[in-house]
Amino acid sequence: MKKIDIKIPNNFYQVYLGSNIFHKLSNLDVIKRNKNIFLVVDKNLYLNHRDKISLFYNNIGTKKFLYVFEATEKNKSFTEIKNIIAALIKNNFGRDTLLISIGGGITGDVASFAASIYSRGIKYINVPTTLLSMVDSSVGGKTGINFGNTKNIVGTFYQPDLVFIDIEFLKTLPHEEIVCGMGEILKYGLLIGDNFFEEIKNKRNKILEFNSTTIIDVIKNCIQFKSDIVRNDEKEKTGLRKVLNLGHTFAHAIEVEQKHHIKHGQAVIAGLACALHLSNKINLLNDSNLEKYLPLLISFADSIDIQKYDTKKLYEIMKRDKKNKDEKIKFVLLKKAGELFVDIETKKEDVIYALNNGLQYYKA
Ligand SMILES: NC(=O)c1ccc[n+]([C@@H]2O[C@H](COP(=O)([O-])OP(=O)(O)OC[C@H]3O[C@@H](n4cnc5c(N)ncnc54)[C@H](O)[C@@H]3O)[C@@H](O)[C@H]2O)c1
């Protein structure tokens, strides 16, 4: 079992990472110390791993509650937060409660938001069970729910006390969801630099075929890179953390415009393709680099079906993105892998060009 230290000013926690390690979680001090434990478990995960979860549940705490959560973007909502809080109050959980989420990025975002506001903040452990949540969303402390048509517009910064990753859970994850995880991994390839991008390209099939050593290495690299960024800009104040939004301004708009028929990670792949085309259109990324990075993104086209889309609507949705100021769309763009620029404003026609070029590969 590997341990990765996440050091953030005034905060420190560890990520445990390994294969077939879930049974060790109930023996950790942080669990043993807490008598009151509230579990938020993804419904599909629960259906696939009921025995493991039940055994864990039986081994922990004295007062406990199992809240089974249906992970959909629609349920990243105040209604679900209200339901979780109502269950906490009804069952007399106080400030000394430990909340544990077991599930993907949606479950983690909702459960951590609830943990951050209940009794002004209770202890929180994240057990990510999708590839996307293992490489990205479980670390960094962003919690959140959607509101109206805007993704993640309500939320807090709240770091977990521990992140526990058992890649064994990935064995029941549908292929489509592995592709979603690849979306964030590709983002890290473009953020970290050419060597890591090449590594991902070479290991693409090993990841899809579930090679444990490869998956653990990739998760470790992504988490280490993200934690370095978060350490230096936890609350997205200096601009450094903004690089993590590469492709995401496009992706969030694609998700909303497609009415969430397309998943976050799939939208990230299409969004990265748009960001590459936009970077090329404004002469930041040269043609040879565009041609170097695109094929790996396009190699997932079979698993992404974007229905008929409206570029004007996509543009309007992007203008409402929470990261914008004065209705100006701010993009994260790149000169090459590892060389990023944030807060770039471009002409509307360049954005439309990027949308048409980036989305063409993924049309249903
Ligand atoms: N907080 C952050 O920093 C951050 C970063 C990136 C993404 N996100 C958010 O994460 C969300 C996407 O997360 P996701 O891709 O993990 O999706 P998800 O949570 O919807 O999970 C995907 C699907 O897999 C199922 N599932 C989960 N684990 C399983 C398992 N082991 N076996 C079988 N089925 C399983 C879920 O029920 C769901 O149907 C988005 O809402 C996005 O906004 C947050």
Three-class SS state of 280: helix
252 lines ligand 1 (CB under 6 A): no
On the question of pLDDT at 239 being above 90, the answer is: no
Q: Is the CB of 103 under 6 A from ligand 1?
A: yes
Render pLDDT for 158-168 as a digit per residue (tens, 0 to 9).
Answer: 999 999 999 99
Three-class DSSP category at 341 = strand
List the residue whose alpha carbon is closest to atom 12 of ligand 1: 105
**pLDDT at residue 325 tops 80:** no
Share of the chain above pLDDT 90, in %: 94
Ligand 1 centroid to residue 77 C-alpha, Å: 15
β-bridge partners, 8: 11
**Which residues are catalytic, by number?**
120, 142, 184, 226, 236, 241, 245, 248, 252, 264
Count how many Cα atoms sit within 13 Å of the Cα of residue 206 in the half-sphere of its side chain. 13
Indicate whether 282 pLDDT > 90.
yes
Mutate which of 68, 102, 109, 222 to test ligand 1's pocket (most atoms within 8 Å of Cβ)? 109
Q: What is the CATH number of domain 2-172?
A: 3.40.50.1970
Q: Among 194, 192, 183, which Cα is nearest to 222's?
A: 192
> Model confidence over 3-12: pLDDT tens digits?
999 999 889 9
pLDDT for res 187 = 98
The closest of 351, 182, 193 to 275, measured between CA atoms, is 351
- What CA dihedral angle connects 323, 140, 184 and 260, to 10 degrees? -60
Across the range 226-248, mean pLDDT stands at 94
pLDDT value at 174 more than 90: yes
Res. 324: pLDDT tops 90: no
Would you say residue 27 has pLDDT above 80?
yes
Domain ranges of the chain: 2-172, 175-362
Indicate whether residue 112 lines ligand 1 (CB < 6 A): no
Local confidence band at 349 (pLDDT 50, 70, 90 cut-offs): very high
Residue 73 has pLDDT above 90, yes or no: yes
Reduced DSSP (H G I as helix, E B as strand, rest coil) percent helix, strand, coil of the chain, to 5:
55, 20, 25
**Per-residue confidence band for 149, with pLDDT thresholds at 50, 70 and 90:** confident
With 80 as the cut, is the pLDDT of residue 147 above it? Answer: yes
Residue 136 has what DSSP assignment? I
Q: How far apart are CA 338 and CA 188, in angstroms?
A: 9
Looking at domain 175-362, what is its CATH homologous superfamily? Dehydroquinate synthase-like - alpha domain (1.20.1090.10)
Ligand 1 pocket test target in 264, 266, 272, 322 with most atoms within 8 Å of CB: 264
Residue 216 clears pLDDT 80, i.e. is over it: yes
- Reply yes or no on whether the pLDDT at 62 is more than 70: yes
Which pLDDT score, from 0 to 100, does residue 322 have?
62
> What is the pLDDT, as a whole number, of residue 281?
98
Helix (H) or strand (E) segment spanning residue 62: none
Residues 6+ apart with CB under 8 A from 88: 38, 65, 97, 114, 118
Q: What is the mean pLDDT of the chain?
A: 96
pLDDT at 326 over 70: no
Q: What is the dihedral of CA 156, 173, 72, 140, to 10 degrees?
A: 10
Cα of 230 vs centre of ligand 1, distance in Å, is: 21
User: How far is the CA of 81 from the CAs of 39, 87, 104, 145, in angstroms?
Assistant: 14, 10, 16, 9
251 vs 239: CA distance, rounded Å: 20
pLDDT band at residue 320 under the 50/70/90 scheme = confident
Distances (CA, A) of 120 to 86, 142, 207, 302: 15, 16, 40, 45
Instruction: Please report where in the chains the tokens 């060597």 appear, as a residue.
Output: 195
List the structure tokens of 329: 């769309």
Specify the DSSP element, H or E, that contains 68: strand 63-69
Residue 337 in contact with ligand 1 by CB distance below 6 A: no
